[in-house]
Amino acid sequence: MEVTLRIFRYNPEKDKKPHYETYKIEAEQTDQVLDLLNRVKWEQDGTLAYRRSCAHGICGSDALRINGVNRLACKVLVRDVGTKITVEPLLGMSVIKDLIVDMEPFFDHYRIIKPYLINDEPLPVGERIQSQEERARFDDTTKCILCAACTTSCPSFWASGEYIGPAAIVLAHRFIFDSRDRGARERLEELNGRMGIWRCHDIFNCTDACPREIEVTKALGEVKLAIITGRLD
């Protein structure tokens, strides 16, 4: 079948403003949208810029707006989106070139929540033991691949890029509820700040956008509850 691919293009070195270019490609129902982007680049226009790596939904580098919805290009098949496909960069981030956005502000927010185990207690002999139940408490949020699909689908983030955003909070959740970690209080204090978690209004865009099917809004709700009650169970 023939697919019409409409792609956002912007090269700040020569374009005054962004525009769209249209490409026609022969495709199978089971082709990924990433396959189509690759074919455009390899067969029609080598100047097209986009990020990709694993092609299997693991690295998170190819999050894009596909027919208006945040998705990973490698996890969306032609049969999922039809034969007219519009591909655009993530909203709320500045465009470096074509489909590539500047992820640095996103990773700055990620660093704020201290995404590593904090525990200054003396090392035990052997491992820090954790029960299966304790590990299950934060299992869902360990699945985050930092693709930014959730944060860039959030109207609060569109309104202010300073909002820390759901991805950083999901990663905070992963450590806050880890029984081996002792940094929950400082993370909760950070998230309780002006650009923290209270900018979330439970719209659920983030949950819908997550390619790993993390219950993002639920995780944010648990963090809000921990701030209010001071309880980490």
Nearer to ligand FES, 59 or 81 (CB): 59
* DSSP-assigned letters across all residues of 38-85: HHIIIII-TT-----S-SSSSS-TTEEEETTEEEETTT-BHHHH-SEE
Tell me the helices (H) and strands (E) count for the chain, helix number first: 9, 7
Shortest approach of ligand FES to residue 62 CB, angstroms?
4
Helix/strand/coil for 140: helix
Residue 32 or 156: which CB sits closer to ligand FES?
A: 32
By CB under 6 A, how many residues form the interface with ligand FES?
A: 12
Q: Is residue 232 a contact residue for ligand FES (CB under 6 A)?
A: no
Measured distance CA(233)–CA(155) in Å, rounded: 30
Distance of closest approach, residue 177 Cβ to ligand FES, in angstroms: 26
Cα separation, 155 vs 146, in Å, equals 18
Q: Smallest Cα–Cα separation from 145: which of 203, 193, 212, 225? A: 212
Find the shortest distance in angstroms from Cβ 100 to ligand FES: 13
d(CA 165, CA 163): 5
Judged by CB under 6 A, the chain residues 201 through 230 that form the site for ligand FES are: none
Site string for ligand FES, 64-93 (x = CB under 6 A): --------x-x-------------------
Contact between 180 and 128 under an 8 Å Cβ cutoff? The reply is yes
**Binding to ligand FES, residues 40-69 (CB under 6 A):** 52-55, 57-62
Name the minimum Å distance from CB 106 to ligand FES: 15
Site residues for ligand FES per CB under 6 A: 52-55, 57-62, 72, 74
